[in-house]
């Protein structure tokens, strides 16, 4: 899933999926599958607007952001069963302008793709329309964009959502292939073939000139393949060419490893315990004296020291795009549950002391899982765990031992906690050790 679609899913939240499941009497998996198609087609249809409805759509986006409380209003509509509510009408008007007479057909296709009934599909399109309008309206307001600026941004990010539209939907909506597909990288072989083709087209008759390099490339490739596979032949096993599926899997694994290496931070040294939890190898015990005189016990290179140094460093700027995340080392949960195991209390209390010492500091809590199980369940579990940590921090924040109490005002107002499931792994999910490291809780610094 692209970052843009992830942001839209996170804006809506998992409570929206649960409410839709209860309201329409459909499985959450079906609702989630339907939404995975609905958001991309709404964004694509919006990006294709030629100006006929630009004024009306611009007013809808502004109203969705200023006059309504999405996604809360969408959840309330489903819980109260009020299809005539103005908030529902706003989403309905939005998607009607985008899809016109094709709206019914879109609902039927989504019903077939997801397995939910057509009536639920139609209602879901309207509700998602309101949420998308509020999401886009918020972007316009926060970044000072006018309607044309928003359209330019969507055009630049078109591939990030259009590629997730199913082929059957592309055919129905007459969505053309990307006019500027990504070009294959230029290799030595492709240069040779291109030059050979150019000579032939230009009538240079230089075919013999390029035969030798092609033959040499072929022989070199054959030699390397034979040499790499030679050990198998020596054992009496004839080497076999990989089929496309195997090659694709190998490529996917390689890319996954590259992503893991790029994302890897301090989650490296340690070992698994008998419960399957990752126990970090800690540095020397240290004490950090905060600006208010309070000292917190921790260890060198740990969560608290990294966070403290980031807060105090004037050159460390907030990364608004990727975020500045710091992973707890001591927060462990019971398997498949959101109940904290004993052992992480000190790190949570240290976090509250940091918040108490730095009143301008504002954070959010993020939860992550490994990739075992289905993605929706992982997102819900990670969100439940993040919520547990958030609530525990608030409880510690009211302690009379603090020089200054900590409350909700020092957490992100929109999403004080959030679950990301198996997204952004820190280690290799193909190993038990990697999966153990990926089950974690982190905090993001929003303001310092």
pTM comes to 0.52
The CA distances from residue 406 to 136, 393, 398, 438, 440, in Å, are: 33, 9, 6, 29, 23
Task: Give me the pLDDT at residue 279, please.
Answer: 94
Is 313 in a helix, a strand, or coil? coil
Residue 77 near residue 85, CB atoms below 8 Å: yes
Q: Per residue in 332-365, pLDDT tens?
A: 999 999 999 999 999 999 999 999 999 999 999 9
The model's pLDDT over 231-281, given as tens digits with 9 standing for 90+, comes to: 443 343 333 333 333 333 333 343 344 444 434 443 458 999 999 999 998
**Angle at alpha carbon of residue 412, lines to 407 and 415, rounded to 5°:** 115
Q: Coil, strand, or helix at residue 344?
A: coil
Under 8 Å between Cβ of 4 and 157: yes
Answer whether 346's CB lies under 8 Å from 340's CB.
no
Which of 445, 130, 128 shows the shortest CA–CA distance to 316?
445
Residues across the chain: 448
Superfamily of domain 259-447: OmpA-like domain (3.30.1330.60)
Read off φ and ψ for residue 301, nearest 5 degrees: 80, 10
Break the chain into its structural domains and give their ranges: 3-173, 188-235, 259-447
Residue of 215, 319, 269 lying closest to 426 (CA atoms): 269
Question: Residue 357 has what pLDDT?
Answer: 97
pLDDT score recorded for residue 319: 83
**pLDDT < 50 stretches in the chain:** 83-84, 179-212, 226, 229-267
pLDDT of residue 326: 95
User: How far is C-alpha 291 from the chain's CA centre?
Assistant: 36
């Amino acid at each position: 899933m692209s970052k843009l679609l992830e942001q839209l899913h996170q804006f809506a939240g998992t409570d929206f999926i649960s409410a839709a499941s209860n309201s329409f009497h459909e499985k959450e998996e079906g609702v989630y599958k339907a939404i995975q198609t609905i958001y991309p087609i709404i964004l694509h249809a919006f990006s294709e607007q030629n100006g006929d409805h630009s004024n009306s759509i611009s007013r809808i986006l502004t109203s969705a952001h200023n006059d309504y409380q999405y996604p809360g209003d969408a959840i309330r509509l489903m819980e109260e069963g009020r299809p005539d509510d103005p908030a529902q009408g706003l989403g309905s008007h939005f998607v009607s302008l985008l899809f016109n007479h094709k709206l019914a057909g879109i609902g039927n296709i989504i019903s077939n793709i997801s397995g939910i009934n057509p009536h639920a599909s139609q209602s879901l399109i309207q509700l998602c329309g309101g949420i998308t309008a509020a999401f886009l309206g918020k972007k316009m307001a926060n970044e000072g964009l006018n309607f044309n600026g928003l359209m330019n941004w969507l055009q630049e990010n078109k591939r990030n959502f259009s590629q997730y539209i199913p082929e059957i939907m592309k055919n129905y909506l007459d969505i053309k292939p990307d006019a500027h597909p990504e070009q294959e990288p230029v290799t030595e072989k492709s240069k040779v073939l291109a030059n050979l083709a150019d000579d032939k087209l230009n009538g240079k008759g230089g075919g013999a000139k390029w035969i030798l390099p092609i033959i040499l490339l072929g022989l070199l490739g054959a030699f390397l393949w034979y040499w790499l596979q030679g050990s198998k032949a020596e054992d009496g096993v004839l080497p076999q060419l990989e089929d496309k599926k195997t090659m694709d899997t190998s490529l996917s694994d390689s890319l996954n490893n590259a992503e893991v290496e790029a994302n890897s931070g301090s989650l490296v040294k340690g070992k698994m315990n008998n419960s399957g939890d990752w126990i970090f190898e800690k540095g020397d015990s240290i004490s950090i004296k905060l600006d208010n005189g309070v000292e917190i016990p921790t260890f060198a290179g740990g969560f608290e020291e990294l966070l403290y140094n980031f807060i105090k460093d004037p050159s460390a700027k907030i990364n608004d795009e990727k975020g500045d995340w710091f992973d707890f080392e001591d927060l462990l949960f019971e398997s498949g549950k959101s109940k904290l195991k004993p052992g992480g209390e000190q790190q949570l209390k240290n976090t509250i002391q940091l918040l108490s010492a730095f009143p301008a500091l504002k954070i959010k809590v993020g939860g992550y899982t490994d990739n075992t199980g289905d993605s929706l369940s992982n997102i819900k579990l990670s969100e439940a765990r993040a919520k547990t940590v958030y609530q525990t921090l608030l409880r510690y924040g009211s302690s009379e031992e603090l020089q200054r109490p900590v409350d909700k005002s020092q957490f992100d107002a929109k999403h004080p906690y959030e679950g990301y499931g198996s997204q952004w792994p820190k280690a290799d999910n193909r190993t038990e050790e990697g999966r153990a490291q990926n089950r974690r809780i982190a905090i993001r610094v929003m303001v310092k």
